[in-house]
Structure 1
Amino acid sequence: MTTALTARPLHHDVRQAWQQLATASGALDHVEHLLATLPAPGARTEHQRAEAASAHASARALRTRFLDRYADAVYDRLTIGRTLRPRLDALLDTAAETFPGLVPTAGLLAAETGRAQANKEGHEIDQGIFLRAVLRSPTAGEHLLDTMLRPTDRALRMLPDFTRTGTVQLEAVRLERRADGVARLTMCRDDCLNAEDVRQVDDMETAVDLALLDPATRVALLRGGPMSHPRHRGRRVFSAGINLKSLSSGGIPLTGFLLRRELGYIHKILRGVRTDHPDDWHTPHIEKPWVAAVDGFAIGGGMQLLLVFDHVLAASDAYFSLPAAKEGIIPGAADFRLGRCTGPRLARQIVLGGRRIRASEPDARLLVDEVVEPEEMDAAAERAVARLANDAVLANRRMLNLADEPRDAFRAYMAEFALQQALRLHSADVLDKAGRFAAAAPDTPHSERS
């Protein structure tokens, strides 16, 4: 005798299979009724926290078993046989409507907007379960990766003006393309040392799309702008990494920040932006060479970015760090990419031990291509972009990236990252650390916080 879980329904039957399974188990109803009787997560007693955790665990085990078997059928139902290309947030919204209880609704997540991270229920973990199952699938996962490599609607709206004027000023990024064919992206969050938040991710993806789609751009350069912070006033800074005040206050979402960042603009820097133009029959992606120029420091997400660039230039007084163990979260795809650059031992020292690498020390040459004195950065950046403005660079970088980072390997990593990062976001140690970091000076780099 078959059940809703053991049967293999056709695509149009998978919704019914989920409804039957959810009803039969009673796990979803139990967790919903229990949470309605409990205070907010931050105000619960130890017993109440254990009771909620047990109920969540039963519901999540149910979701996992279902998706392990039916992820492809669910994804085909949501995308009408992969004819639609919803991005992460839209895909999850549709899943919530089509398969009630499988992932949280937009209304449920919106109700938690503005709550401190410690007072959230952890519904993003259910999103992580869903996205892990989708990304694990060679069929559904590849389709989703491909969707996330396509240009955003915002960039497409701005493209005509940018191709005409060569300039775009966004809140977090300034983009300028000059007559030399170099698109210069300057991160300009001078108030927070270019610390990353949702606004920064949105603006960066828009700017990356524009640089890639612009036919007059041959090479792109990313650099931090001058800061207004008293300790760094007038000096360029690359990035202080994730904005921990935003994390503590509940403003760093799993999909809108952490996954969009990795599957969106960072992956586009590596792979290019996906197009469907008939003239691009030989390759469906528009790619450009990328140079990063690091002034001051590249901490956390700033250092993660460097791992996908073709040429990394650093000032001799710059430093790099991935304070993942200190913050308690996973440093994006750095766990996937860093060992390829540094070897496994140094990668563990940086990620697990929090080792800071200074540009002046020998090990920095495993992370950067060129180190110059701070006053020589401008000239060195111009030389770097000139060297990459070569037609043969594109074909060779494509082949190097194919060998270094096969898409299937990246997809498998991101599948597990989706769930593990969601679990980390709502772990007790992270909530405690984020609160303590947020209480420090808001514009202090992570590596300088207690």
Structure 2
Amino acid sequence: MSGAAGTDHAPLPAAPAPTGDLAADAAALARHTAHGERLLALLPPRPNRTAAESSHAARIHDSCRAARHAFLARHAEAVYDALTASRAVRPRLAELAAEAAVRFPGLVPDAAQLAEERSRIQAHKEGREIDQGIFFGALFRSPSAGAHLIETMLHPAPDSAAHLAEFRRANRLELPTVLLERRGEAAHVTFRNGHCLNAEDNRLIADLETAVDVTLLDDRVRVGVLRGGPVTHPRHAGKRIFSAGINLKELRSGAISFVDFLLCRELGYINKMARGLFSDSAHDTEEGGGWSSHAPGRRSVTKPWVGVVDSFAIGGGMQLLLVLDRVIAEEGAFLSLPAADEGIVPGLGNLRLTRLTGARTARQIILSGRRIHTHEPEAALLCDEIVPTAQLDEATERAVRDLAGPAVAANRAMLTLAEEPVDLLRAYLAEFAVVQARRIYSPDVLAKTERHWNRSARSRSDERPAGGGGTEREPA
């Protein structure tokens, strides 16, 4: 049957109404979504569809997503308990979604569907990560399941213990996009994604979580320091840059993962910097690590963090500053959250920025794309010190000394508890998961990434002798 014929006489029945019985409702969901998949298979691939075929595909997805929403509204906690053995095990985000695809067919995309999506550029995908957003949004909406999942993601990543042993031997850990070095009581985390102005991609997110884990687990370290390394981009070769935010080239090419990037960065290394790390490791001590009681039978380690902003902190780079305890910026640097231009949600920036800047300035930054330059009065709301380039190292060392005191870790943990209770974070994540998943597939975002790709392609052509680059937004 041709795709055109399929659009004429193959409507998807209404989404089934849940009865309250988990097994029966899961079976009904599986039947409904399987029928939807059969109808989608009659259509051409997304880039080859006519307007009518695209509308038909959208109706199929809408019906299946309505069924998923309805199912999870009744069964989110039961599903989570089934996937976690009644919360006796702690699968991370990707593992949880993979198990959900097996245990509850049709609830989230399975491995084959995700592999097919990864082979396409963003604009040519079906948008199956939207279904992952619905799934995680429902879990976070549950006070018990959501809090448990947030806590799970505060545990060390699987490979962190091996990297900790290496760091303890050498006082240095080289990861593909991050360098971690111990200097006295500080662990210096240097971004090394220099070809793209230290923009964030899947690899950098994973490496940063490892670096943060190791920093928090090493009982010789009292303070973490974040700084961007020198870049190789032709326009800025050799200059230190903090971060250009999300790598828009990778987003356009379909290489930015909703789970491993957009959710994992918020619940992984950023939340660990804000809230600390849960660990059962016996060698960690209160004297070395800033331990604080979190709940009966559990302990968490938290440490203060310093950020050193060279040149600019754009998008995700600026978001990082909102959880740090001391921000030192280079004279002439600027900060921005270009959410209005990109069309996506700037992580947890919407939750955290207002606390620092007030509502008016936060709206100017997020809704209108206002940049905050270090010479402006508002810079003092986001930066603790603004110094000449030559004084950045000295100011960093001074900040480390100031924050290395034994009471600092406990007090900053109490500040986080007061400023951002876990229930507030959970409620934000419940909406963020759904909205962000839809945003990365919205027509305006796809059009903007395509325009950026075309501009970058022209730029790369003009600057080809100097090497690679042009993979992200560049400041004007």
TM-score of the pair, normalised by structure 1: 0.94
The 8 Å contact of residues 293 and 300 in structure 2, kept in 1 or not, is answered as no
Deviation at 1:217, TM superposition (A): 0.5
Q: How many pairs does the alignment contain? A: 438
State the Cα RMSD in Å.
1.6
Q: After the TM superposition, which residues 203-242 of structure 1 pair with which residues of structure 2 at under 5 Å, given as runs?
A: 203-242=207-246
The 8 Å contact of residues 136 and 411 in structure 1, kept in 2 or not, is answered as yes
The 8 Å contact of residues 292 and 302 in structure 2, kept in 1 or not, is answered as no
Deviation at 1:5, TM superposition (A): 5.3
Q: Cα–Cα, structure 1 residues 267 and 5, in superposed 2: closer, same or farther, change >3 Å? A: same
Percent identical among aligned pairs is 52
Deviation at 1:30, TM superposition (A): 3.4
Deviation at 1:29, TM superposition (A): 3.3
Q: Cα–Cα, structure 1 residues 281 and 357, in superposed 2: closer, same or farther, change >3 Å? A: closer
Q: Cα–Cα, structure 1 residues 148 and 388, in superposed 2: closer, same or farther, change >3 Å? A: same
Residue 72 of structure 2 is matched in structure 1 by: 67
Among candidates 177, 182, 202, match of residue 206 of structure 2: 202
Q: After the TM superposition, which residues 6-155 of structure 1 pair with which residues of structure 2 at under 5 Å, given as runs?
A: 7-9=19-21, 14-23=22-31, 26=32, 28-155=33-160
Among candidates 386, 404, 413, match of residue 398 of structure 1: 413
Q: After the TM superposition, which residues 37-436 of structure 1 pair with which residues of structure 2 at under 5 Å, given as runs?
A: 37-178=42-183, 180-277=184-281, 282-283=293-294, 284-436=299-451
Deviation at 1:247, TM superposition (A): 0.3
Deviation at 1:231, TM superposition (A): 2.0
Q: Distance in 1 between matches of 2:132 and 2:472?
A: 30
**What letter matches 1:342 in structure 2?**
T
Deviation at 1:303, TM superposition (A): 0.4
Deviation at 1:282, TM superposition (A): 2.9
Q: Distance in 1 between matches of 2:112 and 2:214?
A: 32
Q: Cα–Cα, structure 1 residues 390 and 97, in superposed 2: closer, same or farther, change >3 Å? A: same
Deviation at 1:22, TM superposition (A): 4.3
The 8 Å contact of residues 199 and 243 in structure 2, kept in 1 or not, is answered as yes
The 8 Å contact of residues 29 and 107 in structure 2, kept in 1 or not, is answered as no
TM-score of the pair, normalised by structure 2: 0.89
Deviation at 1:163, TM superposition (A): 1.3
**What letter matches 2:451 in structure 1?**
R
**What letter matches 1:72 in structure 2?**
E
Deviation at 1:408, TM superposition (A): 0.5
Deviations 1:342-390 (A, max 9, x none): 1111111111101111011111111111111111111111111111011
Q: Distance in 1 between matches of 2:389 and 2:455?
A: 29
The 8 Å contact of residues 177 and 184 in structure 1, kept in 2 or not, is answered as yes
The 8 Å contact of residues 191 and 227 in structure 1, kept in 2 or not, is answered as yes
Deviations 1:33-56 (A, max 9, x none): 221111221221111111111111
The 8 Å contact of residues 342 and 448 in structure 2, kept in 1 or not, is answered as yes
Deviation at 1:447, TM superposition (A): 5.2
Q: Distance in 1 between matches of 2:471 and 2:170?
A: 36
Deviation at 1:20, TM superposition (A): 3.2
Deviation at 1:255, TM superposition (A): 0.2
Q: Which runs of no fewer than 5 residues in structure 2 stay unpaired?
A: 1-15, 286-290, 457-468
Q: Cα–Cα, structure 1 residues 407 and 389, in superposed 2: closer, same or farther, change >3 Å? A: same
Q: Distance in 2 between matches of 1:158 and 1:340?
A: 35
**What letter matches 2:167 in structure 1?**
F
The 8 Å contact of residues 15 and 98 in structure 1, kept in 2 or not, is answered as no
Q: Distance in 2 between matches of 1:15 and 1:317?
A: 60
**What letter matches 2:187 in structure 1?**
A
Q: Distance in 2 between matches of 1:66 and 1:6?
A: 6
Q: Distance in 1 between matches of 2:472 and 2:378?
A: 22
Q: Cα–Cα, structure 1 residues 289 and 446, in superposed 2: closer, same or farther, change >3 Å? A: same
**What letter matches 2:51 in structure 1?**
E
Secondary structure of 2:364's aligned partner: helix
The 8 Å contact of residues 130 and 438 in structure 2, kept in 1 or not, is answered as yes
The 8 Å contact of residues 292 and 301 in structure 2, kept in 1 or not, is answered as no
Deviation at 1:85, TM superposition (A): 0.5
Q: Distance in 1 between matches of 2:125 and 2:472?
A: 26
- Deviation larger for 106-115 or 312-321: 106-115
